[in-house]
Structures are given as C-alpha cells and as structure tokens.
Amino acid sequence: MNQDPIESSPTLESLIQAIAQHRDKQAFVQLFNLMAGKLKFYAIRCGANEQDAEEIVQEALISVWHKASQFNPKTAAATTWLFRIVRNKRIDFVRKSRPDQIQSFDLFPDHGGEELEIDAESDLTAQFTRTLIEYLPDEQRQIVYQVYFEGKSHSEIASEMDLPLGTIKSRLRLALNKLDSLAKEHMSWLIIILLTTY
C-alpha cells in the first residue's frame, strides 16, 4: 500500500498556508482532492445522506478558503483545525437558518486568537496522536470511532457489540487514559515514542 497521502508532499498544512498567504486556487484544488473524500466519509459515518454529505464537504472546504489565515500551526495541527471546521459544519447543517437554535459557535466559541498553545510543535503532537491511535488495541479503537463518528452512547455501543456495558466503559476508559497521559506528560511521552518508533 502507498504511503498516507498526508505524509507525502505537499502537506495539508502547507496547502492551508498557501491558501492563506497567496489565495492560491491551485493549492485549494489539491486540498480538495486530498480531503473531499475523507470529509464525505466522515459526514456519512455521522449519519448524513449522500447529498447532504457533499453539501457539508463543500461548505467545510469553502470555510477553509475563507478562514485559512486563522490557521495557526502553533495552536493546532492542520488535521485538528480541519476537524473542528467540518464538525461545526455538520452540527450547523441541520439547523440552517435557525439562529434561535444552538449553533456550533455556542458550543465551541472562538477564543479570538487567545487559543491555548498546547504545544509548540503541534505537528509532532499530531504525529504522536496518530501513533497512539495506531497502537490502541482494535477493540478500543473501534469504540473511539463509534463515539466520534456515530455519536453512540456507551449503552448503544454495548448492545450493538453484544457486550456488557461495563466492558465498553472500561475499554473506552483505557483508550482515554492513554490519551490523557498524552495531555499530562506531553513532551516526555512524545520524545519516548518518537525515539522508539521513528
């Protein structure tokens, strides 16, 4: 199998920056080709139908075009930034033209540039998160997927997988604990993993 396209050049990050700095439509086309399918898969996995999914993809990518200059690699990896955009578009899609309803900006307010710098090298952290997900045992990873993409509660996952609720809870907790240690012991973990796997 080929390498993950994100890994080969140009990177998602460099495409976003090219859009921000030069309003580069060619970079946008590359970004579209790189991400549209993945974004669509995300929307569909979250429950959208074919047509709605493509609309969400389009809106998210148009948003990337307009907001590219707000992308700050110091506060978030490019993938994180894109995830926030498509998540918010998905949330708002069903409430279009209903400003009286809760919108994504109520749930995830912009902190106006005061965003937490979780790490000076967020790209390294992203790599670390990726490694971490890969290292999660299948069963834990599946549960994480179901939470993120299908919005399943513990009990729904339990009945679908035909497993006791307690098992689901403890598997997710195991996965989360690993991620927690990422937050707490950021740098040292990062170094250990990078040294041992790269």
Partner 1 sequence: MANHHPTDDLLIRHSAGQLPNALGIIVACHIEQCTQCQQKIAVYDQLGGELLVQNDELSPANLSVKADLLEDTLAKLDQPLPDEKTIQPVSDSAIPGPLRRFIPCKLSQIKWRGFAKGIKEISLGFSNGHYSAKLYKISPNKLLPVHTHKGNEFTFVMQGSFSDNAGCYRAGDFIQTDPSIIHQPKASDYQACICFAVTDAPLKFTGLFTRLLNPFLR
Residue numbers 23-82 binding partner 1 by CB under 8 A: 25, 28-29, 32-33, 35-42, 44-45, 54, 57-58, 61-63, 65-66, 76-82
Say if CB 57 and CB 43 are below 8 A apart.
Answer: yes
Taking CB under 8 A as the criterion, the residue among 109, 112, 195, 198 binding partner 1 is: 109
Of 88, 92, 86, residue with least CA distance to 37: 86
Site size for partner 1, by CB under 8 A? 77
Closest distance to partner 1 from the beta carbon of 50 (Å): 9
Of 186, 106, 173, 172, residue with least CA distance to 142: 172
Of 176, 2, 11, residue with least CA distance to 77: 11
Closest distance to partner 1 from the beta carbon of 18 (Å): 14
Write a three-state SS string for 143-161: HHHHHHHHCCCHHHHHHHH
Span 163-192, contacts to partner 1 by CB under 8 A: 169, 172-173, 176, 179-180, 182-183
Taking CB under 8 A as the criterion, the residue among 24, 118, 161, 163 binding partner 1 is: 118
Measured from the CB atom, is 97 or 196 closer to partner 1?
97
Please count the CA atoms within 13 angstroms of the CA of 123 that sit on its side-chain side.
Answer: 10
Closest distance to partner 1 from the beta carbon of 30 (Å): 11
